[in-house]
A = this chain, B = another copy of it.
Amino acid sequence: MAYRLVQRMLFLLLAMACSAVAQPLPSWNDGAAKQAIVKFVADVTAQGASTYVAPEDRIAVFDNDGTLWAEQPLYSQFAFMLDQVKAAAPKHPEWKRNAAFNALASKDPKAIAAIGQKAILELLVVANSGMTVADYDSAIRAWLASARHPKFQRPYTDLVYVPMQELLAYLRANGFKTFIVSGGSVEFMRPWAEKAYGIPPEQVIGSQQDVAFGMKGGKPVLTRAPKIAFVDDGPGKPVGIYRSIGKRPILAFGNSDGDWQMFQVTAAGEGARFVGIVHHTDDVREFAYDRKSHVGKLDKAWDDAVAMGWTVVDMKKDWKRIFAFDP
């Protein structure tokens, strides 16, 4: 008796809730990409259908840089880490004899290119080490609050894509669990990912620098060590997914060859699958780049997308607006 009453109430509540929900993905034009997404979600949530997927297996993974927010002209985290080099320089007089430091200080692109990625990365890792994770977190938050993107003159966290925010919310409303799987590091994304994307810290997977446990003034602290422990990019992404999720995603979204292996693993599962690629085609509202870009190169994954029938989102055509500040 009480059970039937509860059932009826739940039904009424559900009907009310549904009528209040607007059409999904309002910032997406009604093209092939949006239709493919809506069809996929309908397929995997249709109980009794052969395409149905139980909620606990509705795992959706998203690259971050270039997929959920802008990554040009330079990954935001790279800009932050470079600023950390500047900030740490007074404490490192020995850097005056460091070729990578001098190349960066010269701001000469040719000198920087000549010194090579490896030497620069080593300097970046040293400059971003030695502090507790709490102090590093404070530095990241302070930087995010003050730094401005060179093209838009706005905080970097303003540069999240509204259509992707809508997609994340739409998936969660349909029982998906959403994860970030990024080449960036976890501590750089966690301070703002929950507010920007609705993704809590424990669902942010990324690259990792070594941290060491120790006692400091009688309190337990974790201190950053100058060593990269795990690179969650390219072939590392399926490893990160295996380690941190332990299930094969049924949906993956990315924008570059760094996501290629994540796409392959997602597509290789049985049943309904969705692979989406954000193609940067809008040089006015954002940036336009693909096969030849140094940041967010989209080449092999694009070939595969064509061959496999994956969904390629054309930012210029498919998105009504990109940023919340767009007119």
Contacts and interface: CB of A to CB of B under 8 A. Distances in A.
Interface of A: 2, 6, 9-10, 12-13, 16, 56, 59, 133, 177, 179, 186-187, 190, 194, 200-204, 208, 211-215, 219-220, 222, 229-230, 235-236, 238-239, 242-247, 261, 264-265, 268
A211 B211 CA distance: 21
Contacts of A6: 13, 16
Contact of A213 (B200, B229, B235): B235
Given A186-B246, A202-B203, A215-B264, 15 more contacts: A2-B16, A9-B12, A10-B13, A56-B200, A179-B202, A186-B243, A190-B246, A201-B245, A201-B247, A202-B245, A202-B247, A211-B239, A211-B242, A211-B243, A213-B236
Nearest to A220: B264
Most chain B CB neighbours (cut-off 10 Å) among A177, A243, A245 = A243
A302 to B, nearest CB: 18
Nearest to A237: B213
A306 to B, nearest CB: 18
Given A13-B10, A220-B238, A213 B246 contact: no
A113 B221 CA distance: 35
Contacts of A261: 213, 220
Nearest to A8: B9
A265 B220 contact: yes
A6 B19 CA distance: 13
A251 to B, nearest CB: 15
Given A220-B238, A220-B265, A238-B222, A246 B202 contact: yes
Nearest to A267: B220
A268 B204 contact: no
A246 B9 contact: no
A80 B201 CA distance: 33
Nearest to A208: B243
A133 B246 CA distance: 10
Contacts of A219: 268
The 4 closest A-B pairs by CB, nearest first: A201-B246, A213-B235, A220-B264, A202-B245
A202 to B, nearest CB: 5
Contacts of A238: 213, 220, 222
B239 A213 contact: yes
29 contacts: A6-B13, A6-B16, A9-B9, A9-B12, A9-B13, A56-B194, A56-B200, A59-B202, A179-B202, A186-B243, A190-B246, A201-B245, A202-B203, A202-B245, A204-B246, A211-B242, A212-B235, A213-B236, A213-B238, A213-B239, A214-B235, A219-B268, A220-B238, A220-B261, A220-B265, A220-B268, A222-B238, A222-B239, A244-B244
